[in-house]
Structure 1
């Protein structure tokens, strides 16, 4: 690989790291945000619901800008916006209207960053010709661990919301500004299309394989949203953990994700995405059941780790699968798939809002049951790659599918009928 590709890949790692750090630093302080604004559980659920709803809008808007500017410039603008919005949450004091505005800004920026960094990651896979997505998500998880540990320390030191948010936000801005210029350029992601070519490209990307992996990914993000937003509350409110220990459920969840994702790329290359996701779903189901049944904080933290170990593979393998059914190299399938991210988060926030008055255990029971869907749809994570030659003849730039077991066009391996 060229020096240019290595530098761009490092910059994509940096984008995932900043996103993981900021996200964890905010969500693991949810109990403190709730206390500072005297929010009921229902009002808190509404605040948490704003983020994925607005993020979905941000993702769609960002996707529409990729064809004109590329995902790199969009990411370079949106990522500092995430850091700024997180800091604003710490400035809102006890005022609800500024809190809603800050959370909405955080949501739209997060959505744009999610779309941009995933498009950049898929571009890296295409240029390297092998599975890389789980590695990027492992970096996200490592940064999330650091964010959770920072919050545990901030809680121990009794830091206010503003200093607790400003420190990781400042680091995020510095890293983003330093590495952003080296992201993949538009011409390195795929051939820039006209409006007519983009419309034609969208028709060439099949919906069925995207819907299959998207449904499973939506379930993962539903579970992930509940763990992210309510793990600290479960430990603090129901299992009587201290302020210092409350963020550790999320930390354990992310540590397990790092371990799993570090090995998942090798597993995908050797055994295929379908088997990796199926086994991950089984392990994740065991972990979520353990969370619901946990008798104390220590058991719940261990169960969160098991859940993270299994569920962590779903999203990166889903994006990799989407890249294989997009013959245009324009990120059409990735943009479609990214919508399921926010559908899952919206449903997670809505379910939590309805069930939270009954306690935290019912909140975690629903995603535990739905993880069965991931296991059932695992075959969809090995789709048959779409003919890139046909795409080239259609006018859009051809893209090379990642070299992995799923790229084998054998008739019995995909789980999706040819041409679906």
Structure 2
């Protein structure tokens, strides 16, 4: 840890942790109730797929728009406004009843504010990491996953006791708003975040960062998030519709998936240091395929929940190693390569919602089972791109062999 860490820095770090926790809680509380939302609004599978696709599309707009506000106001004020707004929109979604127009408006607002939170909470985490002088980003995403587990368990309990959807969302939203209000004022202010690179510096840096290695690791990133989107958006519906699970069981697939991700990320850095990124990525892809095949072949809900966990063990390691590989080909140190790779995060999430949403309505009885085959097959891309992770650092040695290990830098948003 760098010298000179102050109480102010510790307060900002705790506030950033809280922001990630609130986001994980809100996201999990919503996606694990997709089957209940569909029933409440009597949505067809095709209409539901469009509603789910709306979220990442609008979130991309929110992320870009919020970034434009950072230079003037800083990421802290943007986060303090947008995060409670996410919680409020979740409650509003539960309040829409059977009014479809109100549902679309509320979901669009949710996506817009989610994109703003995604950008601003990551900016705060980067500011904390820069101040401490050590890699901390994986810990922030671990907090996100733990809160997501709690959100999924809350959804399961709500369904078990037949709590109305609005009450389920409203209670989660109240917790989220209270936590955000209690800690938001301690986020870093604009002057404390430091000045970012100028437009001229970014333009010059963009010319010096090669695209080929970015495209290779970005393809693996997109595939990982495609599978993550399929599980997050449709996992509960799969358990509810095609495996005839009880309403309270349906959210547990997402819970198992997130628990496995926390466990896997706890040992991923050590695995990279010992075996190198190529082996870790290949192993992650292999385990991910096994898990997804288990989901496709699941005869019952218990088997599918276990398979979701196996998929989480494998898929969770891919994104952090992608960011590390991207950072090693960036000679500027301005994060240009990391920003480019992060584009594939959104590409994967949009494609995941679109592909599964398009295939699922084709078969009334086994649509989602068939739809999960697509992300399962596409994980093979990870094996085709694995050698691209053995990239030499600018001015240094390649991440391979194991003795030249690097660190994962972050998760992607949502995986």
Alignment match, 2:214: 210
Stretch moving more, 78-87 or 360-369: 78-87
Match of 2:297 among 278, 293, 298: 293
Following superposition, the deviation at residue 324 of structure 1 comes to 4.5
Alignment match, 2:409: none
Residues 260 and 313 of structure 1 are in contact (CA less than 8 Å); yes or no, is this contact kept in structure 2? Answer: yes
Gaps of 5+ in 1: 388-407, 415-420
Residues 96 and 103 of structure 2 are in contact (CA less than 8 Å); yes or no, is this contact kept in structure 1? Answer: yes
Residues 411 and 225 (structure 1 numbering): CA distance in 2 closer, same or farther, change over 3 Å? closer
Provide runs of 4+ in structure 1 moved above 6 Å.
none
- Within a 5 Å distance, the mapping from 1:216-295 to structure 2 comes to 216-295=220-299
**Aligned-partner SS, 1:158:** coil
Gaps of 5+ in 2: 405-415
In the alignment, the residues of structure 2 paired with residue 30 and residue 291 of structure 1 have an alpha-carbon distance, to the nearest angstrom, of 18
Residues 390 and 399 of structure 2 are in contact (CA less than 8 Å); yes or no, is this contact kept in structure 1? Answer: no
1:367 aligns with 2:371: no
TM-score, with normalisation over the residues of structure 2?
0.87
Residues 378 and 139 (structure 1 numbering): CA distance in 2 closer, same or farther, change over 3 Å? farther
Residues 277 and 399 of structure 2 are in contact (CA less than 8 Å); yes or no, is this contact kept in structure 1? Answer: no
Residues 290-348 of structure 1: per-residue CA shift (max 9 Å, x gap): 11111111111110000011111222333344444455555444443332222112111
- Within a 5 Å distance, the mapping from 1:19-418 to structure 2 comes to 19-186=23-190, 191-326=195-330, 330-357=334-361, 358=363, 359-381=367-389, 383-386=391-394, 409-410=397-398
In the alignment, the residues of structure 1 paired with residue 29 and residue 75 of structure 2 have an alpha-carbon distance, to the nearest angstrom, of 25
TM-score, with normalisation over the residues of structure 1?
0.86
Please tell me the root mean square deviation across aligned C-alpha atoms, in Å.
2.5
In the alignment, the residues of structure 2 paired with residue 383 and residue 113 of structure 1 have an alpha-carbon distance, to the nearest angstrom, of 32
**Aligned-partner SS, 2:219:** helix
Following superposition, the deviation at residue 250 of structure 1 comes to 0.9
In the alignment, the residues of structure 1 paired with residue 235 and residue 194 of structure 2 have an alpha-carbon distance, to the nearest angstrom, of 40
In the alignment, the residues of structure 2 paired with residue 303 and residue 133 of structure 1 have an alpha-carbon distance, to the nearest angstrom, of 27
Following superposition, the deviation at residue 151 of structure 1 comes to 0.3
Residues 137 and 261 of structure 1 are in contact (CA less than 8 Å); yes or no, is this contact kept in structure 2? Answer: no
In the alignment, the residues of structure 1 paired with residue 165 and residue 53 of structure 2 have an alpha-carbon distance, to the nearest angstrom, of 20
